[in-house]
Structure 1
């Protein structure tokens, strides 16, 4: 009798253990990733960037979607953040892509879309997670309890990002804010950078990258509940060229000059800022620190991790089918996959988060994130020789939604 090699037995045992962990239904979903996936014809947008349609059979029916495959090894092919020029702003993916000269793109992070729980406080349009564009850190992550989007799987956080390093390799990583406010009496920790929500007792910095939107939302909700009341214990300090030039009891609005920074404090943070008066010297420092990669990122966007090492994460939602957007990478981070489904009214089916993870694995992703879906899901491409991009999927509701940011694909730069 031929003895089965021990390495093969261990591999089979690992697969069976993973299937048991997910449960019978989830295991069947994962197993269907290959035989439930069908591709349409491939269009080469530019060398290294392909577009194609697909269908995928899920538990709620057959979903139809659109896929960009981006080979980061191709000279001149890159990805970067699509955004409307400020953190607290929104735009259509097609408009953002055209303005940036992208050959393709998708919508990205969940964002502060509405404020029904805080009457009189305007929504900012700002995204949940960290963001880096062209190597420039734009913002850090809001507290976990303040995020928008589906439930995060265990072990993940609002600081998780899909990113591309200065080495041109895509990764899943975590970006935390490391910052301080140096006062004449001592140093105060900086708890936020251009965020629509600050932690209770914290101090946040707002720069010209924030835009002119109101900063009132920064003191609403708490670390555990987004809809908690707004704090009435706030203080705002405007610093220009290292010197305090203005103070206010209530967060304001309006454009921030490039040489200035606005500090907003709530509760203990407000108390610390109240020691400042015009003319005081203040030293504000901030940077985003990566957990896994020390070489620096030229692009990063927040997202909900759903796939690592080719396997769906434990605890993914597997009941509600919806229109989804996802991004991931394979080939050791050298190939990226950007995906958006058709709106359910057009396709007749959506996918659960677990099905989305299984689909990304079937496409070839080793790691992936779930991005903002529903009416936000949008994928655009620019055909060879065309002057502008075209929306390829059918957004839910029939028209493009204004979104906080996206992932753009570029060639020749």
Structure 2
């Protein structure tokens, strides 16, 4: 999450220089000759436990499984039931349990890149760099700052950062003897000059912040140590002070720079004293080049007053509020409003058992499979699994867990992050798990490879081994034969090829032993979306375009669909798709538009072909209407104006939106309002929009607001502005219902109250080259205008005043009104195609394609799965669909008259 604050704590240990810890990966090599006697252990496979009956029935905690990471560390997967608004919600949590008495495993802090602060890195990147077998994100940090942990961090007795002078912020530490502690600390240190005088130290490797409770400037009249663990040449940025700096090496002053920073980074093996005000006066009065100077520091417990020697600590990471004490939920030691304490978000926490032998490293998932936890819920979960004392670590978009699966050599994500799938935030620090075991003998083997495949995908599988300490060994010398349990996977002689949906078991046989794994060949039911790389094309003979199709899976991940797994249908033209290239061969007589439909196991997406194309709507070169800034709440400030562009757009004019959302509370908005409150008309029936956006890496939400028929329609431009520089965004509008009279009113950024501490409150973005793709499917044959009146139970309808008899009447079933879709399309344009084998009807109208299946509440609209309240039904061989679908998805206005039970449709 990253609070915009810092940790009040204590003062540290003795002088230390920065460091880079190199932890190599341990991989045992086992020769083929050495495998003969251990082959019978092939059947051991991964050590994964089923649901733990100890947590069954009466407990809200259910253990879903467990796997060994390395000797002394295991990963447990949980489901935790909570009650929200009277309903039970089940949340997924993952816990790494570390045996602190096991000599073959240890915990340590992971810091940025190369063990240096001010260099953020993903948790996975830090784990790979340092050789961790598992890890999570750790301390809070200022997302708009330099990337420095707010609290203390210690690695192998070396202090990397000291705690900040903030109140109620706790830290987790493990001593070199293996004893865990959680406490609130302050920093206590000083330097001693050769003349015997001393001056207090304020901290080590800290960026600028406001102290508590006095809200003072951290670096005013203060003396800090900066070691080579501080990467940046700014020590620090934006401190509102002028530095005097002293370079110290081997306890001897090498250089003094009054009133100015010493250029460059801190040299390895040295440190820099950074002084201001009274501290600078002390430096110039008491230190001289060539003289000795000593630095000493320690931490002091706020709760007990006892001192803590950093040299005696194996590791320490800072956190936020205390969560658990004496096995019970603790009162929060700091306000949790800035970390969305009362909202369910992704969470990271750490704690230890009552006997101090077990550390618990905890995450709560927030993704498509889990809704996250409130802090109070996290407290309940922690106490349920045996945490005696625990604290909160950074959460929200920072929450990430990685682990090395058994027999593998690399760590991977344990679950999809709240940023979306595999996207990982770059964070300031992490908490890593490391194996200290020697090379062991081979204990077991497992099949390694993809656990899920799409139809048409080929995958190779390998045998991988693990030793007696559950660390990987090289098993490449083992020869095995392979087979599949059924026709979902086919062995090609070198690899397996996915042939049809279903679960198959891959088995490797070597001599008299065997091991296996299950592989799921995904079908259409496993997809949430299917997206073509191009969503619109000109309907012109000879047109060709390279097309790739990506499937969005229900687990949140995305994967490219093999070309051979797709079945194509062409409506309005003859065409082909060969080697990923779609070609329009000829246009059917009278066709005003066309559809290229790709299906994966029945799940569809569509490319719209039209005689029109993309229209430039605004490039801001000659703006003739007013543009103004508006914001919410009223304290929001900013400016919206057309200016000369920068970077790739330096030769053109752009719309720049500057914003300052530091004032006020709640959700915050910064708008660039176009043409007053009226907005500006956009082309009719647009299917997509492209816009160039200059990002500011604020992580704010970028949106556009349209108006259609007096109602606002909101469209996402980017869920997170996580880039700098110009980027072209392509936005699908086919399900937005913009129709024929839409206006674009404003483009804007949003910073929601939930997780607001994670995003920048000030920034600047810019917009340029707004274009709309407008398929010309609106002619008389495709998008007719009409007024049609139907009456429930009657087989006579009125179409533009003309009475017509039909063979099926609208009906009311329960609270839902159903209408015959084919007759709707007959009078308003479009077509409906029935596929009997799958009981599916495909509706095409304008820029919308909709697949509906009898008995299913899932519909597919332009490649996206959507769930509706009721499913379509079949009466007299006619498909009837809920009236709401007609109005919401096909853009046809509906009026219901309760007295006569009549339905008026207009377009």
What's the offset of the Cα at 1:314?
1.4
Question: Which residues in structure 2 correspond to 1:36-185 (within 5 Å)?
Answer: 36-60=60-84, 61-83=89-111, 84=113, 85-114=115-144, 123-144=145-166, 156-157=168-169, 160-183=170-193
In structure 2, the CA distance between the partners of 1:293 and 1:309, relative to structure 1 (3 Å rule), is farther
Structure whose alpha-carbon radius of gyration is higher? 2
Question: Which residues in structure 2 correspond to 1:154-303 (within 5 Å)?
Answer: 156-157=168-169, 160-183=170-193, 186-197=197-208, 198=218, 200-217=220-237, 220=238, 230-241=239-250, 242-251=252-261, 254-275=264-285, 279=289, 281-291=291-301, 296-303=312-319
Unaligned segments of structure 2, at least 5 residues: 1-57, 209-217, 438-907
What's the offset of the Cα at 1:407?
1.2
Could you tell me whether the CA contact under 8 Å between 1:134 and 1:298 is conserved in 2? Answer: yes
Could you tell me whether the CA contact under 8 Å between 1:124 and 1:214 is conserved in 2? Answer: no
Could you tell me whether the CA contact under 8 Å between 2:188 and 2:300 is conserved in 1? Answer: no
Query: Cα RMSD over matched residues?
Result: 2.5
List, as ranges, runs of 4+ consecutive aligned residues in structure 1 with deviation greater than 4 Å: 250-253, 292-295
Structure number with the higher strand fraction is: 2
Superposed CA deviations along residues 147-177 of structure 1, whole A, max 9, x for unmatched, are xxxxx7xxx33xx311111221211134433
In structure 2, the CA distance between the partners of 1:48 and 1:233, relative to structure 1 (3 Å rule), is closer
In structure 2, the CA distance between the partners of 1:375 and 1:213, relative to structure 1 (3 Å rule), is farther
1: distance between equivalents of 2:132 and 2:184?
26
* 2:330 match: 313
In structure 2, the CA distance between the partners of 1:279 and 1:365, relative to structure 1 (3 Å rule), is same
1:330 matched to 2:340? The reply is no
What's the offset of the Cα at 1:355?
1.8
2: distance between equivalents of 1:340 and 1:63?
11
Could you tell me whether the CA contact under 8 Å between 1:125 and 1:403 is conserved in 2? Answer: yes
* 2:573 match: none
- What is the TM-score with the length of structure 1 in the denominator? 0.77
Structure number with the higher helix fraction is: 1
In structure 2, the CA distance between the partners of 1:41 and 1:294, relative to structure 1 (3 Å rule), is same
In structure 2, the CA distance between the partners of 1:293 and 1:66, relative to structure 1 (3 Å rule), is farther
2: distance between equivalents of 1:294 and 1:126?
22
In the alignment, which of 399, 409, 426 is matched to residue 402 of structure 1?
Answer: 426
Unaligned segments of structure 1, at least 5 residues: 1-33, 115-122, 145-151, 221-229
1: distance between equivalents of 2:254 and 2:100?
45
Superposed CA deviations along residues 127-165 of structure 1, whole A, max 9, x for unmatched, are 011111122221201221xxxxxxx7xxx33xx311111
- What is the TM-score with the length of structure 2 in the denominator? 0.36
SS at match of 1:408: strand
In structure 2, the CA distance between the partners of 1:277 and 1:172, relative to structure 1 (3 Å rule), is closer
2: distance between equivalents of 1:383 and 1:252?
46
* 1:339 match: 362
Could you tell me whether the CA contact under 8 Å between 1:91 and 1:404 is conserved in 2? Answer: yes
Could you tell me whether the CA contact under 8 Å between 1:173 and 1:293 is conserved in 2? Answer: no
Larger RCO: 1 or 2 (CA < 8 Å, sep 6+) = 1
Could you tell me whether the CA contact under 8 Å between 2:204 and 2:226 is conserved in 1? Answer: yes
In structure 2, the CA distance between the partners of 1:243 and 1:412, relative to structure 1 (3 Å rule), is closer
Q: Which moved more, 1:396-405 or 1:251-260?
A: 251-260
